[in-house]
Structure 1
C-alpha cells in the first residue's frame, strides 16, 4: 500500500473518531429523553430507558413556557437578522459604489462594533434601556439584536460588493436607474449566497444568545429561549433535554433550507 493512501486512511480514521466524540452528547440527550426523573437520577446515564416517558416530558415542556420563549426568540432572531441584512446592504452599497468621502473611515467606524468584547456593552445599554423604558420589552430586544448584527453583516456585503464591476452601475445609471433600483434589481439577485450566509449566521447568533437575554429581560413574556433554558434548572433533566432538542430545531431547519447557498456564501466571511 502506498504511503499517501495509508496517510489518507489514518487521517479518515482520526476524523471518524473525532466525529463520534463530537456527536456523543447528542446521542446521550436522545437516550435520556425517554426516562423518568427518578430513572435518570438513579441509573447510569448510558443505560437504555426501561419505559417510554417521552409524552410526560413533552407535557412538562409545554407547562414550562419553553414554547412561548421559542416564539418570542423567533421574533427576535428573524427581526434582528432581516433588519441587519437590509441596513448592512445599504451601508455596504454606499461604501463601495457611491461617491462618499472618507469611505474607509466610515467602514472602520461601523465595523469597530465587532472589535470590542460584547461584555463591554452590558452596563451602558442596560442603563440606557432603563432610562428610555426599553428594558424588558420586545422592541428593545429587537433593536439591540438588529444593531449588534449590522457591523459583521456590512463587512461581508462590502467584501462581495467590491468584486462587482463599477461599470455595471454606471451603465444602469445611464439607462435611468436610481441607486435603489440598482441595489434591489442588480445587486440583490447577485447576492443570494452572501445574503443566505449572513442571515443564517446572524439568526443563529441571536437564537443562541444567553448573556444579553438574561441581562435585558426579566419576564417570561420577553425572555428568549436560552435564558429560559438556563433558569429551568436540573429539577427534571429528561424534560430539560426535550426542551434543548426543541430549541435546536429552528436553526437546524434553517440550515438545511439554506444549505445549497452555505458553501458559496462562506467564502465571503473570511475575505
Structure 2
C-alpha cells in the first residue's frame, strides 16, 4: 500500500506529469467509447494545462496522481460541480493494479470533498466493469441511475432541416482549434437552447428527435463523421439500440462542513 503523502496534485506547469495523466485517462475509457470523449481529443493535454493554470483554490479541475520513481502510474480527474465533486476519470497503469492505488485516490477524493465543503461525490462506471463497481459500492457509493449511449441515425435524403440559430460559433471554433473539442449552443424550436459537443469529427447531441433534428441542421456546417446521444434510463434497458451503458453513482457526505481537512490528512472513506 502506498504512503499517505504519495498522492499529489498535478499542476499546469508539470508538463510531463500532465501528459502522462492524459494518456492514462484516455486509455481508461471503454473501447466502445474510444474517440468520443474529450480525453481523446488532439489537445486534451493542452486543455488540462489550461484548466490547471489558476491557483489551486480557483480551479474547477483537480488532478491527483500517484507516482513511482517520479512517474505517474495512477491518476484521478476530479471536477467541482456545484455541491458535488465528480470523478471525471480514474486510471491505474496495468502493472500497478491490485495494489490499492485506486482505493487511495478515491479516499483522497473524499478528503478533498470535505475540505471543499461539498455535500457529495459522484461518478459514472461502465455496467460491465464489475471490479470497479464493486470497489465503489464498498466505499459507500450508491446507484442513482443509468445512461445509455446510442448512435443517432442520419435523416434520409430530402428531409427538412431543423431551423437553428448558432449562439457561440466563434468561441466553439476557438476551443476546437486549441483543444480538438468544443461545446456549441444552438437555439431551436420555440426558443429552446441545446448544447452539443464535438470531439474531433464526432458530434454528441441530445437523445431523441430533438437531437436528430439538431444533428441534421448542423450537418453541412460541421460535417460529423458520427453522431451519438446519451439517454438516461433504468437498469431494465433502453428502448433504442445502444453501444455503451453506464451507472451513475453517488456518495453523500452527511456533514461536509464539519472538520474540514487539508488534502494530505488521513480520513478513511469507510467511516463516512
Q: TM-score range by the shorter chain?
A: under 0.3
TM-score where L is the length of structure 1: 0.22
TM-score where L is the length of structure 2: 0.22
Higher helix share: 1
